[in-house]
Structure 1
């Protein structure tokens, strides 16, 4: 039994998840483990090619699509997004983060492509989930929270977003999640075709990511694991079955959390980043994507989501080594459906762990910390 298998089986025995797939690629030496089953007390063994809902591990892939358009000269980092999203040409901002939604001031400058890539657009989740300006974002604009997806078109989504005031001025603060959905709509508008089509053509197909998409097609559906949320007492409760919301194409392809994929496919994506972009991205785009763009104050304010990290484009960047798994320069992210994927440029390492059980909050779990520690220190 491999050490990685033993680590995962320990957490299966402790009830963290019924099964998992994990992968560690250390400069080309790959260790893969699939343990447990796809469901609690189930008889279907976990398989290495199992499909999982990536949740927020989607975010780096979406950011790469934006940067592909930057490389093409279609988008520019300093360009206002209103050129492609005219609905967002005149945003207003709540006077203070706790102000009511009608207590607003004009934005001091336009929202740029770089603001959206770095999650500093002004829309998104901060430390205070009760802020009045967040409530319409949750109620009218949120399309993905680990559960079934809402039936709303990208155009309808942008129209709804235009009616929500910014929580902070453009560029002022790191705010989580909404910017990645905004990236997905921006890609579709700038490319002139739906996000799934552009993503498949420019990112997925060149990398051989044949199992990645916004739903599980019929031929692959037997490999899609059910998804469980955490219920009372930590018990898993079925939230989406294999023939549920991810069995058909969504009306809104969520750039923040809509993809399904496998460990092998994300490995291909991670290797592309480690190789400087290959035929997919320019080295400069990869450098920008995997570099921290936040100030120290912005990192501190975003510490509910960032624990020893800054933020690049679509993922976190470790900036200190206060934890054994926290390696400066490590880039990637975690998903609320129980997923995580990272690269460590200094050592040429890719790490992926996929489970069918959702996280109960933004804090990193014990099993993630154990896996990361193993991956970067073993």
Structure 2
């Protein structure tokens, strides 16, 4: 008799722990999946919103936020394997707005105190978030470049960009870089640039390229940059903390959701919606080194490159607020290089600001996906994340 991949007793503990967050009103609903060696368990707990008793279901469509990043990274690597992008070639050909960059002499300095960039930006820089511009880990408006990005409508944040891609690029190109390309890791912006690069290099929209090369082959039928009218009943309400009461306040109401109509900007960093089963198919492809049900989506070497660390020790240290001690960055995913509070070394994945989290353990052959309706309030993860990943690790039956 084959040994089960998961401890049933410990999976029951996992369900109890997650259900307790719903029962005490920390969030209305959760859908999660754990999968290992062909054994997959999916649970849907709670309701679609706080105002009704309509149960949340396995096919609920979640705002994936930064779980979009690994999908965009895979799209770029597919395009590179097709010979239409080269990882270490300057992106100037496709993104002339970012050619001949100027770089701030000091990250906190005035916008006109610059020096020429030491080299051009490459596709690899975008994938590894070493573009030279992105989220500044200081209070909003603390530096001139932060204020300029906010005023231009291109600052990283919890909401999708409201500008068409060409206008977004034009405004980004009018500003200096904060660091020289390759010099420092800066979150978020590089993957949005990467999405525009994919669209221009493929002569397709980002949505169309992803659909043809990722979603359709993996049968990810509910993954897109918008929710259709027919799917609306499966979109849960999204909540954030009401700091006045300590309770929940609506962040994105389904009937007026920003995902109801295609956005003017398909954000490669945070724009996708998806379901637990769709995302499980995507992660199964990565766990299987680029194959899915006998078909190859991406080469084995590309998947290994995606899930390997690309940061220096100092780059990791400077960004441990986001990467955590022991964490690093691969291509569109976080990577553990030393044991962290959640994981041993070698695990990769990421979490999203709308309350989503998904990781892969290639060594122990498991996938975990947690989809919630509650926005993350800070760089410190929600307690439900800690409990989920601790319980997943404990439920391995080896």
Tell me, yes or no, whether TM beats 0.5. yes
Report if aligned partners of 1:16, 1:367 keep a CA contact under 8 Å in 2: no
Structure 2: state its 5+ residue gaps: 1-10
Whole-angstrom distance in 2 between the partners of 1:313 and 1:76: 15
Structure 1: state its 5+ residue gaps: none
Indicate the residue corresponding to 2:207 in structure 1. Answer: 196
Give runs of ≥4 in structure 1 deviating > 6 Å.
Answer: none
Indicate the residue corresponding to 1:224 in structure 2. Answer: 235
Whole-angstrom distance in 1 between the partners of 2:289 and 2:137: 34
Tell me the CA shift for residue 145 of structure 1: 3.3
Report if aligned partners of 1:24, 1:352 keep a CA contact under 8 Å in 2: yes
Tell me the CA shift for residue 144 of structure 1: 6.6
1:253 equivalent in alignment to 2:266: yes
Out of 376, 391, 394, the position equivalent to 1:374 is 391
Structure number, greater radius of gyration: 2
Report if aligned partners of 1:21, 1:32 keep a CA contact under 8 Å in 2: yes
SS of structure 2 residue aligned to 1:133: helix
Tell me the CA shift for residue 150 of structure 1: 4.1
Whole-angstrom distance in 2 between the partners of 1:331 and 1:127: 23
Indicate the residue corresponding to 1:174 in structure 2. Answer: 185
1:61 equivalent in alignment to 2:88: no
Once the two structures are superposed, residues 217-271 of structure 1 have per-residue CA deviations (whole angstroms, 9 ceiling, x without a partner) of: 1111110111112221432111211122111111100001000001111100111
Indicate the residue corresponding to 1:70 in structure 2. Answer: 80
1:40 equivalent in alignment to 2:67: no
TM-score under structure 1 length normalisation: 0.96
Indicate the residue corresponding to 2:339 in structure 1. Answer: 321
Superposition pairs of residues 256-295 of structure 1, within 5 angstroms: 256-278=269-291, 279-295=296-312
Moved more, 212-221 or 8-17: 8-17
Whole-angstrom distance in 1 between the partners of 2:361 and 2:392: 10
Report if aligned partners of 2:356, 2:371 keep a CA contact under 8 Å in 1: yes
Tell me the CA shift for residue 326 of structure 1: 1.4
Tell me the CA shift for residue 132 of structure 1: 2.0
Distance 1:55 1:328, change over 3 A: same
1:241 equivalent in alignment to 2:266: no
Whole-angstrom distance in 2 between the partners of 1:47 and 1:143: 34
Tell me the CA shift for residue 38 of structure 1: 1.6
Indicate the residue corresponding to 1:132 in structure 2. Answer: 144
Whole-angstrom distance in 2 between the partners of 1:71 and 1:7: 43
Report if aligned partners of 1:54, 1:261 keep a CA contact under 8 Å in 2: yes
Once the two structures are superposed, residues 98-134 of structure 1 have per-residue CA deviations (whole angstroms, 9 ceiling, x without a partner) of: 1122211111100011011100000101333423212
Indicate the residue corresponding to 2:158 in structure 1. Answer: 146
Once the two structures are superposed, residues 10-67 of structure 1 have per-residue CA deviations (whole angstroms, 9 ceiling, x without a partner) of: 1112332111001111222111111111212531111111001001111000111000
SS of structure 1 residue aligned to 2:254: coil
